[in-house]
Chain A
Amino acid sequence: MSGTENQMTGAEIVLQALKDNGVEHIFGYPGGAVLPIYDEIHQQDDIQHILVRHEQGAGHMAEGYARSTGKVGVMLVTSGPGATNAVTPLQDALMDSIPLVCISGQVPTSLIGSDAFQECDTIGITRPCTKHNWLVRDVNDLARVIHEAFRIAQSGRPGPVVVDIPKDVQFATGTYTPPSAVPAQTSYQPKTQGDLKKIEEAVELMKTARRPIIYSGGGVVNSGPQASHLLRELVELTDFPITSTLMGLGAYPASGKNWLGMLGMHGTYEANMAMHDCDVMVCIGARFDDRITGRLNAFSPNSKKIHIDIDPSSINKNVRVDVPILGDVGSVLEDMVRLWRAAKKADDKTRLADWWEGIVKWRARNSLAYAANDDVIMPQYAIQRLYELSKGRDTYITTEVGQHQMWAAQFFGFEQPNRWMTSGGLGTMGYGFPAAIGVQVAHPNSLVVDIAGDASIQMCIQEMSCAVQYGLPVKIFILNNQYMGMVRQWQQLLHGNRLSHSYTEAMPDFVKLAEAYGGVGIRCDKPGELDDAIRRMIDTPAPVIFDCRVANLANCFPMIPSGKAHNEMLLPDEATDEAVANAIDAKGRQLV
């Protein structure tokens, strides 16, 4: 590997390393400290650069791209403000385990520490919001570091990484090393194979369970399509009921007969009751988040818990489990299915008959019911119509954060993994629209809809300009109720209905806004006209902002009020004004 053919400038090395790691698209914004890299981008055709309007948008686009393809998302930002604007998507990707490589420019090494123009301590700032990060001071380390960055981002529990490259290193000439010549770091070797003894123990428990449940999460989606396939096979074989976290939707199809719907704070009655009453819980690639468990000391009090996770720090973090299995979901499920098949003679499905009978009764409670209305569009109805009218199409859904997000999770049925992009852990308002652009870049001929709220959409609305520039026909479906609905819902629950700053007094005209950017605007406020308007949106081959005016004061139910257990849900038909106002008492309010 000597001679001149492997000699390149740092900027050339960046592009070569990206190509060698299979990158086809990057999302970025130029600036002083990354100009040499942008100059190289200009002189090649293999990698397409998508110019964003704000670095936060670049990060969420890369996340949407990654989540919908299973590949690593790549963003490119300049030093100082470019890097600080990347912090939100980095933390978002960290919490939702999205593989993301962020390349940032830095001031020249000789100026580091001098408070130079557009200097910031990128490595220091991004250390807690990345899986790992590097400042590359020597051009001869650059190729190795980028290859390592890709390996770390996508192996084990995926996550974001940052490679910070000073401008003089981009100009300097050094040796390029291809990925195959870079040995894996010895200190980072995630364990993917599960301990067979533990898996056997789990299968033993599952065989004798009378009230079992599978609780799956985003780890199944992250593990790849094979993991979702195996999950479906396991459900088929065992006839266990299955629920999923927000992040795991689509791994098991919503039309599947064992599907209970999402669980947790806004999960279905049947899912939460089954979690509470089960005797064996099989947690697959989920992490017992506080929005899932409700009050911890009342969480599924009588069950034996099996937990499959690739991240040892997720096991026994919030909830103590009986059978921890450390490994990749796909690999562990393969063993589990094989062991179950081998033991199938002992399996007697009638033992679950009582359990299913109870579940059918819970289902009959119809916890997602809402009062239909002929005059105003109910937000739940709008999602249902969007779902029905997009059936049969190649559809991807993203969301912002708030009530609309929960309604989308409740009412849009996902049949496949990687079709649902949402900010679960960090809860980032402004995530959905750029994420949808990232999805559309990866799937140019698919229907990509960002289900949004009127408040969230305004946090990254500037990316309309990006969507129009690249002819990306992303659809923004705004459930416009003039409120930060979820904030208002909490104010009603916790703060005596004093709606402090949760009402938007000056709302932009979203139709005119779409037109101003060069997109298409559609407004609808009548239930009778909704279907036609949605069809028009779907058929428009351009970016669309759909201003769907919905009932202003609708709230999201069912709900486990904070500090409550799974079997203490607030159901829609019980959620009278009085019940909402008294759901959390004065003492509880002080604790917030």
Chain B
Amino acid sequence: MSAHLQPTGSAYFIAKETEVAETHTLSVLVDNEPGVLARVIGLFSGRGYNIESLTVSETEHQAHLSRITIVTRGTPHVLDQIKNQLERLVPVHRVVDLTVRAGTLGHDRPVERELALVKVHGSGDHRVEALRLADAFRASVIDANIDHFVFEITGKPSKIEQFIAIMKPLGLIEVCRTGIAAMNRGPQGM
């Protein structure tokens, strides 16, 4: 009634977000057809959702089904929207929020593993130290010369982060990571 007496917003309604963002891991089962990954990624970029990690590969060859694992960050409301929007895509069969599911199954979080290749260049003490630490982290040497190693390391993302950080002063050259593969504990499938 007294619109002209009160301050107001803009042409659009910009509301402050009060919920706290959480990191969740989603498993998405899709038809392995051309463009399906572009649809999923386009949905995330178009609607302003985050992707922290993304892994995809065909997992059921006969049915031509691929499994996409996405780590994303958002408020519970946004995470719900992401799930609903993904389910709307025609080639998407199922979307499971593994983090939520882990909670209902009584677990802390789903099993999450990542593989990284880490190249380290050095000689003398650095080289010895790199090899010793790799052993402690259960990383294996898959290529070596007298002045470099390529390590293969598998584990939780936090373990890989830690290994990379330690290798930095020892001559770290480059890193390649696969992104996270994940599933829930227990006998049931997604």
Alpha-carbon separation in the docked complex, A153 to B32 (Å): 22
Query: Which of B1, B35, B77 sits near A569, CB closer than 8 Å?
Result: B1
> Chain A residues with Cβ under 8 A from B114's Cβ?
none
A-B pairs with beta carbons under 8 Å apart, 29 shown: A127-B42, A135-B34, A187-B91, A188-B90, A294-B13, A295-B9, A296-B13, A311-B88, A312-B87, A312-B88, A313-B88, A490-B11, A561-B3, A561-B8, A562-B9, A563-B8, A563-B10, A563-B13, A564-B3, A567-B1, A568-B1, A568-B3, A570-B3, A574-B1, A579-B4, A587-B7, A588-B9, A588-B10, A590-B10
Q: Interface code B38-58, partner A: CB below 8 Å = 1, 0 otherwise?
A: 110010001000000000000
Contact B80 A583 (CB under 8 A): no
> Chain B residues with Cβ under 8 A from A342's Cβ?
none
Contact B90 A185 (CB under 8 A): yes
> Chain A residues with Cβ under 8 A from B9's Cβ?
295, 562-563, 588, 591
Alpha-carbon separation in the docked complex, A131 to B43 (Å): 12
CB-nearest residue of chain B relative to A320? B77
Q: Which residues of A contact B (CB under 8 A)?
A: 123-124, 127-128, 131-132, 135, 152, 185-188, 290, 293-297, 311-313, 315-317, 320, 490, 494, 560-564, 567-571, 574, 578-580, 582-585, 587-592
Chain B interface size, under 10 / 10 to 19 / 20 to 34 / 35 or more: 20 to 34
The verdict on B20 contacting chain A, using a C-beta distance below 8 Å, is no
Alpha-carbon separation in the docked complex, A356 to B115 (Å): 66
Besides A582-B4, A587-B7, 12 new A-B residue pairs in contact (Cβ under 8 A), listed by A number: A127-B38, A152-B90, A186-B93, A295-B9, A312-B87, A313-B87, A316-B80, A317-B81, A574-B3, A584-B10, A588-B8, A591-B9
Q: Which residues of B contact A (CB under 8 A)?
A: 1-4, 6-15, 30-31, 34-35, 38-39, 42, 46, 77, 80-81, 84-85, 87-93
CB-nearest residue of chain B relative to A311? B88
> Chain B residues with Cβ under 8 A from A316's Cβ?
77, 80-81
How near does chain A come to B16, taking the closest CB pair, in angstroms?
A: 9
CB-nearest residue of chain A relative to B91? A187
> Chain B residues with Cβ under 8 A from A569's Cβ?
1, 3
Instruction: Give the residue among B11, B77, B89 with the most A Cβ atoms within 10 A.
Output: B11
CB-nearest residue of chain A relative to B14? A591
> Chain B residues with Cβ under 8 A from A567's Cβ?
1
> Chain B residues with Cβ under 8 A from A123's Cβ?
35
Shortest beta-carbon contacts, A-B, top 7: A563-B9, A591-B10, A563-B8, A313-B84, A132-B90, A579-B4, A592-B10
How near does chain A come to B18, taking the closest CB pair, in angstroms?
A: 10
> Chain A residues with Cβ under 8 A from B35's Cβ?
123, 127, 135
Alpha-carbon separation in the docked complex, A171 to B186 (Å): 54
> Chain B residues with Cβ under 8 A from A563's Cβ?
8-10, 13
How near does chain B come to A161, taking the closest CB pair, in angstroms?
A: 9
> Chain B residues with Cβ under 8 A from A135's Cβ?
34-35
Alpha-carbon separation in the docked complex, A588 to B88 (Å): 36
CB-nearest residue of chain A relative to B43? A128
Alpha-carbon separation in the docked complex, A293 to B9 (Å): 14
